[in-house]
Chains A and B, each alone.
Chain A
């Protein structure tokens, strides 16, 4: 428990992080489609234009490649931009900026340039928005050396992690989930409430199986843990929070205790963050595994539009529950 807590929505926690940081450091500015006049497509930046003025809360045209590049240029010149994508699916339009510029400038300049920039916005599927609006991009960005990838699961983490991301001198991909924007939770009011990047959270302690789950999959993990608890099994739930750098130490320590692991990940499965976590576990804790690692992911297809198919496409709680039973050899 933190000393000062307020109950905030996920979107309010993100806004609070931005506001607090922008008040602290005038080099920080927010830029993106509809972030200013419209108060943000998901009302994340509500009131920020009034508070900081049009030089620091900037509406852009529909031009992801352009404003991402603009942000990178600004960061190279000493500012600290926060770039909002209306959805991270649109970040693909800015792929060259993100991967060839943002991720590589520090490396290619031999460390002469740093790039303090945050790319943030809603990630993953949310209702029936079709394949091009539903990609969970964390697995894609996590493969790119030079990018940090953060995906919080709750308002408090969102605030603490975003503040750290804004203060970080390297480009950070900060992934929110639009279905969580309304999620309420206690959020710290402390002025410098920072959650370090690269540090996982043991959300629930347990002995029998470790469930690793980030962002909204974390909530599936908690429900599965509840169901297992009713049957007398105790699941440890770990929310990595940051997917790159990954806090593999915390995960491995948990595996050494439980000997079993199930990963829930909303991304498509192939060569994904879940496969990476599974690899790292076997690399570090092979002798502690009592069962093959299982993972529950989105299906290996583009997200469908039809509601029933969409629901089927997403990682299923029942599948995660069954996977836990399987790795525990619990019939």
Chain B
């Protein structure tokens, strides 16, 4: 008689367990009370004991896989016994007993791989896979038909019916561009008392539907800000040498008929080089997977404001690219972003992000981390300021950089060291060429 070994409920809040390591090989004999594996719950890593004697006929799940409570982990029995019935009972054979956690992991990965903003396709993927958004949309048959006819995506509609059911009036309101009436609102006025046409009141506000892009930005930024504990480090960078350096570069560029290098490009390059030295800044904290990823490649995203919102084109391998190349690529991607022509691979997969509001005269600000990055660098305007040098007040050129760090992975000293490296590059910009 084959005996299934199921995932036990090891804590009150446990929903699934991850098999961390197998301690027994297939084919080995085990006795009741033997520990055959280690299982990680939401709280701790615990021993998995068997309650029967027998041979470990099959390890149904592999190390690192998650199984919900009651899911099949292994099968015990007698040597050579047919276990297909047990496997079938738990929904299939070879390791497929845990399809749910797998898809869940994929979903998280898909989520993690996304830029803070995306187009419809990216949003669709998130909606399809996301644990919350994946829920069935409740809509009356009529509302579905109307949405179909008018090309309305029901996911963009807020339902005013019971349990959020989308109903006719929600679609009508959307088509009319008006806010949806609340169900508890006063009933329609009786025709006897009020003439059909009440005097129109001027609306106190204009209504704009939340775009998919804005929705994605909102969701991702809220997720970032609420789950990643942010802290901020600011440095004032002396930009005198960088200014002179850039002037020289651009004279050369002009002579060669190439595009100019911006201060932003200098910062991008400085960050990329600094990231090489500070792997914990070029990292991702992936709670669901229970892992920290230290990225081997350096992909710096540059936040670009477009009419619809924000998008972050990525300069891939920025540490290996020359300033001219970075300048050219940034310009090209920003242009594509403004034309909404960016392909998903051009705005996903960053390992670090910069955001620049210097052109608006903003001296200093803090940015919200672009998940799953560990940090984002906010770049302020370059100011001519009086500085004290050798006891004298002299003119200086300064720029403030503020690094937002996810404290789950980047500690204060790590962030400070990284920022120091960035400053050093900008204050001795020739190093950017080495």
Contact = CB atoms under 8 A, between A and B. Distances in A.
Given A290-B168, A291-B161, A331 B187 contact: yes
A230 interface: yes
B143 to A, nearest CB: 7
A287 B190 contact: no
Interface string B140-177: 11111100000000000000111000011100000000
Most buried by A among B145, B162, B184, B187: B187
A286 B167 CA distance: 14
Contact of A331 (B142, B167, B184, B192): B184
Contact of A231 (B143, B145, B184, B190): B190
A280 to B, nearest CB: 15
B288 interface: no
A331 B183 contact: yes
Interface string A50-69: 00000000000000000000
Nearest to A325: B187
A232 B187 contact: yes
B179 to A, nearest CB: 16
Interface in A275-291: 286-291
A287 B146 CA distance: 9
Interface in A138-178: none
A231 B160 contact: no
A1 to B, nearest CB: 26
Given A287-B144, A289-B142, A290-B143, A232 B161 contact: no
B190 A290 contact: no
A75 to B, nearest CB: 45
A259 B144 CA distance: 13
Interface string A252-264: 0000000100000
Interface in A235-265: 259
B391 interface: no
Nearest to A232: B188
Contacts of A287: 141-142, 144-145
Contacts of B187: 231-233, 330-331
Residue picked from B168, B184, B185, B190, most chain A C-beta under 10 Å: B168
B140, B161, B162, B192 — most chain A CB neighbours (10 Å): B140
B191 A232 contact: yes
A231 B194 CA distance: 11
B190 A232 contact: yes
B160 to A, nearest CB: 7
B188 A233 contact: yes
Interface in A213-244: 229-233
A290 B189 contact: no
B145 A288 contact: yes
Interface in A104-149: none
Contacts of A229: 190
A288 B141 contact: yes
B142 A259 contact: yes
A194 B185 CA distance: 47
A91 to B, nearest CB: 39
Nearest to B145: A287
Given A230-B190, A290-B168, A329 B142 contact: no
A287 B190 CA distance: 30
Given A231-B190, A232-B191, A329-B160, A290 B183 contact: no
A330 B189 CA distance: 12
B183 A329 contact: yes
Contacts of B140: 259, 289-291
Interface string A280-316: 0000001111110000000000000000000000000
A75 B250 CA distance: 110
Interface in B56-91: none
A230 B185 CA distance: 17
23 contacts: A229-B190, A231-B187, A231-B188, A232-B188, A232-B191, A233-B187, A286-B141, A287-B141, A287-B145, A288-B142, A288-B145, A289-B141, A289-B142, A290-B142, A290-B143, A291-B140, A291-B161, A291-B167, A329-B161, A329-B169, A330-B183, A330-B187, A331-B187
Interface of A: 229-233, 259, 286-291, 329-331
Given A287-B144, A331-B184, 13 more contacts: A229-B190, A230-B190, A232-B188, A233-B187, A233-B188, A259-B142, A287-B142, A289-B141, A290-B140, A290-B141, A291-B161, A329-B169, A331-B183
Q: Which 7 A-B pairs have the closest CB atoms?
A: A232-B188, A287-B145, A290-B142, A290-B168, A290-B140, A231-B187, A232-B190
